[in-house]
Amino acid sequence: MIRAFLFDLDGVLTDTSEFHFLAWKRLGEDLQIPFNREQNEALRGVSRRESLALLLQGKTVTEEEAQQLMERKNRYYVDYIKKLTPANVLPGSREILIELASMGLKRMIVSASKNAALVIKLLQIGDLIDGVVDGSSQARSKPAPDLFLLAAKALDLDPKFCLVLEDAAAGIEAAHAAGMLAVGLGPVERVGAAELVIPSLEGQSAISILKRLDKKKSTYTWA
Ligand code: BG6
Ligand code: MG
C-alpha cells in the first residue's frame, strides 16, 4: 500500500535537466571537450562531481581545478534557472501533487541537486509538498539509496510504502536499492528498469499510476 510519492525534481517536475546539459556543454566548450546529448545520458541524475568526472573523460585535474570547474558549471546553470517561473512546472505535475494531497498521501521532492531549494522557490511548488531531501544533505548521491532512505525516514515510513518517480537510470537504481518501487518517466532505453514506464506526468493521475502498478504486481516482487 503506497503512502508517499517521492518525486525527483530535475526532469520530472520541471525541465531543468536541459539546463544542466547546456551548462555542462558550455563548460565542455571552454575546455575544448566535445559533449553531446548522447553523452549527457550518463550524467542524468548523477551528482555534480560525478558529472564533472564523466565530462572530463579521464583527463586529470587537481582538486582545486575540479572545484573551480564545478563552480563555473554551476554559475552557468544558475544563470539559466534564474528565469524559471511557475510556468516551468511540467504539465500534469501540479495536478498530481494536488490530487495526492486530497488522497491523504505524502509528497516529497528527492533531488541530488544543491540548487533544489532555489528551483522549488522559483516554481512556487513548496506549498504542495511535505518536504525536500536534496544535495545539501551530505548523503551519497544517486544511484546510492541514501536520499530516498532519508525521505522515508523523514516521513516515518517503511521504504516499501514509498513510490519513486524518476527520469534517470541512476534514480531508478537508487529507488530499487532503497527497497522502493519506481515509475520511470521517459524512454524505455533509459528508465526501462522501473516497474512502470510513462512518457511524462502529462495526462496522468496518481490513481491511474497506482492502478497500473497494482495490475503489474505479479511481474515484480514487492519490497
Ligand atoms: C540532479 C540532476 O538532480 O542534480 C543532475 O539530474 C545534477 O544533472 C545533480 O548533476 C546535481 O545538481 P547540482 O545543481 O547540485 O549541480
Ligand atoms: Mg532527474
- CATH code of the domain in which 37 resides: 1.10.150.240
Does 193 have pLDDT greater than 90?
Answer: yes
Residues 54-61 have a mean pLDDT of 94
Active site residues: 8, 10
Residues 175 and 115 in one domain: yes
Nearest-ligand number for the alpha carbon of 51 = 1
Q: Which atom of ligand 1 is nearest to the CA of 135?
A: 15
What residues does ligand 1 touch, defined as CB less than 6 Å away? 9-10, 17, 20, 43-48, 51, 74, 111-115, 135, 168
pLDDT exceeds cutoff 80 at 220? no
Give, for ligand 1, the residue of 9, 47, 111, 136 to mutate: max count of ligand atoms closer than 8 Å to Cβ. Answer: 47
- The whole domain housing 66 covers 17-81
Q: What is the pTM of this model?
A: 0.96
For residue 158, give Cα distances in angstroms to 51, 66, 153, 154, 207. Answer: 31, 38, 8, 10, 21
Which set of grid coordinates corresponds to residue 130? Answer: 511535505
Is 171 inside a domain boundary? yes
What average pLDDT does range 184-201 have in this prediction? 97
Task: Examine the domain organization and report whether 39 and 92 are in the same domain.
Answer: no
Q: Are 28 and 35 in contact (CB under 8 A)?
A: yes
pLDDT above 80: residue 208: yes
Query: Is the confidence at residue 136, as pLDDT, over 70?
Result: yes
Residues 123 and 45 in one domain: no
Kindly report the protein residue whose alpha carbon is nearest to atom 13 of ligand 1.
113
pLDDT for residue 139 is more than 80: yes
Q: Are 108 and 59 found together in one domain?
A: no
Are the C-beta atoms of residues 79 and 58 closer than 8 Å to each other?
no
Cα–Cα–Cα angle for 174, 175, 180, rounded to 5 degrees: 150
Same domain, 77 and 130: no
Does 223 fall in a domain? no
At 222 the pLDDT is: 56
Which atom of ligand 1 is the closest one to the Cα of 51?
Answer: 10
**Where is the domain boundary, 81, 102, 117?**
81
Peptide bond into 143 cis (omega under 30): yes
CB-CB neighbours of 77 under 10 Å? 22
Q: What is the pLDDT of residue 144?
A: 97
Sheet holding 131-133, edge to edge: 131-133, 106-110, 4-7, 162-166, 181-185, 196-198
Q: Is the pLDDT of residue 83 over 70?
A: yes
Give CA–CA dist 71/77, Å, rounded. Answer: 10
Per-residue pLDDT at 138: 84
CA 45 to centroid of ligand 2, rounded, Å: 5
Cβ neighbours of 205 (radius 10 Å): 14
> Domain for residue 222, yes or no?
no
Q: Which ligand is nearest to the CA of 115?
A: 1
CA distances for 175 relative to 8, 74, 86, angstroms: 11, 26, 28
Q: Where are the alpha helices (DSSP H) in the chain?
A: 16-30, 37-40, 48-56, 63-81, 93-103, 116-123, 146-155, 169-177, 188-191, 206-215
Q: Are 136 and 194 in the same domain?
A: yes
